[in-house]
Structure 1
Amino acid sequence: MKYSDLKELLNEKALRYNSTEFIESDPILIPHLFTKKEDIEISGFLAATIAWGQRPTIIKNAKRLVEGMDFAPHNFILNHTPKDLQRFEGFVHRTFNYDDLLFFITSLRNIYLRHDSLENCFTPKSGDENLKNGINNFRNIFFEIDHLKRSKKHVSDPFRNSACKRINMYLRWMVRPNDAGVDFGIWKNISPSLLSCPLDVHTGNVARALGLLKRKQNDWKAVEELDASLRKFNPEDPVIYDFALFGMGVFENIK
């Protein structure tokens, strides 16, 4: 497919799927329950953390988390008591369990008390072309307090060649402007040009079908290869094409 035809197709599909009509069936529904910045970023982070498996189950379990926080995640993170945590006993989503959740709550509290905000933890280095260093910085901060070894698997590491699909999805939510009412654009210190596409089976398969990605594994090397392709079409906002690739994979079954 010619460059001009492919760009037209991607722009058309991005416009189609970057729409609020899809929010109800997507984990991004959870942060859309809130208006306060800190509530949006905390609920979004928790929803993104458990965003694997069937989407209805993801949404159900993420709703349980924010309900347990009395629909005030920021206040709960800062002011909860040990007794408040008992309401989450028995929580499990795939391999993310109650013990992991307790650590996540404790670590988020540490971040807001010692680092001011989640956004600050993802600050990239000068001259970075993506958020690989930003993600690594966040991960180091997140696990700077005592933690279970098992909990580290729930925050992916790009320096171990993980595609970091859920973190990149979360970053898209927080950083991309909310022109279409889907993403939030509440983090102003990170440029959308640095975002990477959340690479999963759907986006990967469609990207390969369109000739945007040759690497077979869905890993960080593939993320950077796809970055290079998408930035040719829109260097300022390359991840707008996440909507096109994901939508074509999920709703049009393109493989």
Structure 2
Amino acid sequence: MNRQELKAFLDAKVEEYNQPGFIPNDPVCIPHEYTKKQDIEIAGFMAAVFAWGQRKTIINKGREFLALMGNEPHAFVLQYAEDDLKPFLDFKHRTFNSTDALYFLHFFRWFYERHESLEEAFTGSLGEEASMEARLMHFFELFFSLTDHPIRTYKHIPTPARKSACKRINMFLRWMVRQDDKGVDFGIWKTIWPDQLICPCDLHVDRVARKLGLIKRKQTDWQTALELTDNLKKLDPTDPVKYDFALFGLGVEERF
């Protein structure tokens, strides 16, 4: 199909899948259980970090982790005592274990004692025109700037510097930044713009995008995510990542 036909096809699929009915069976349901901005940020970040494997398991693990925080994640990270950390010693999701959990909590305390919103971790001293590549590299360096950070935890925070497609963190950023009237994405961050987002390039999105000619690159890495996003910008330059709904829905729900 030509570009006009592809746009019409994908726009229709965005309309079909970018709806409240998408929420309950997707990890985005985790932050949707909160209303306080900082709770949404922490819950969303953890749901995104856990987002590999079956969606049902991801959702269960996200809820389990947040239950250990009394379902008040922002208050917990600012107030926890040493004894409050003991339940996390038994937490595990795939390769994410207690060492990772304790460092994440340590970082959150350090960060939220100094900042109002996690958005600032992706902006820092970077200007408004900074690329998403620069923002993600800045975030990685900031996240592991504490002196006692465990090397093993690197695997849970992707960075373009390691050529990662950064699927999970790009998904989290979509949740926080995109703003429309559909109620799925939150749009609570205002200093990063939707046209700066990079499309989350997971297995399903990658497969469908290749089938539609939106990806030519053989491997799946950061450059692949950029290629896909650049092609989506040709369909909608102001909100290219809305097509994540279409590509993901086609892959998961329709086995396209």
TM-score by length of 2: 0.96
Q: Distance in 2 between matches of 1:20 and 1:215?
A: 33
Distance in 1 (alpha carbons) for counterparts of 2:58 and 2:204: 17
Alignment of 1:1-255 (within 5 A): 1-123=1-123, 124-128=126-130, 130-145=131-146, 146-254=148-256
Give the Å deviation of 1:114: 2.8
CA contact (8 A) 1:163 1:222 kept: yes
Contact 1:169 1:198 in 2 (8 A): yes
Moved more, 171-180 or 115-124: 115-124
| Higher mean displacement: 85-94 or 98-107 | 85-94
C-alpha RMSD over aligned residues: 1.1
Shift of 1:116: 3.6
Contact 1:108 1:142 in 2 (8 A): no
Aligned-pair CA distance for 1:39: 0.2
Moved over 3 A (4+): 124-128
Letter in 1 for 2:28: I
Give the unaligned 5+ runs of structure 2: none
Structure 2 Cα separation of the partners of residues 60 and 160 of structure 1: 30
Deviations, residues 90-139 of structure 1 (Å, cap 9, x unaligned): 110000001100000001111112344210111254533x4111111111
Stretches of structure 1 that go unaligned for 5 or more consecutive residues are none
The CA distance in 2 between the partners of 1:233 and 1:66, in whole Å, is: 38
Q: What TM-score results when the alignment is normalised by the length of structure 1? A: 0.97
Q: Equivalents in 1 of 2:121, 2:229: separation in Å?
A: 22
CA contact (8 A) 1:200 1:218 kept: no
CA offset at residue 178 of structure 1? 4.1
CA distance in 1, matches of 2:127, 2:246: 29
Paired residues in the alignment total 253
